[in-house]
Amino acid sequence: MNEYKLELVARHRPEVLERILRVARHRGFTVTTMDMTLIETQVRLKFTVKSDRTLDLLVSQLEKLPDIFNIDRVLN
C-alpha cells in the first residue's frame, strides 16, 4: 500500500472537511493522519492517505470541489 502526503487550502465552512473525507473514502483512500489549521476564512489541511490507487485519482476529484483553493503534494 502506498502512502501519500497532501496539503490543501480550502474555504472555512462546516461541510468542507466532510466533503474532503467523503471523496477520499469513495476513491479508496484511507486517511491516516490529519492536521488542520484555521487561518481567518480558510483552513489549511495537511494529511496523509494510504491506498493501492494512484494519488492522481484523489487529487483530480478534490480539485473539483468548489471550496478547494490549492492542493500540493508533499514529497517524502
Which of 48, 20, 24 minimizes the C-alpha distance to 35? Answer: 48
Q: What is the pLDDT of residue 75?
A: 84
Which of 46, 62, 50 minimizes the C-alpha distance to 4? Answer: 50
Tens-digit pLDDT profile for residues 42-58: 999 999 999 999 999 99
Q: What is the pLDDT of residue 76?
A: 64
Q: What is the pLDDT of residue 45?
A: 96
Residues of the chain predicted below pLDDT 70 = 76
Q: What is the pTM of this model?
A: 0.88
Q: What is the pLDDT of residue 14?
A: 85
Q: What is the pLDDT of residue 38?
A: 94
Domains assigned to the chain: 2-74 (3.30.70.260)
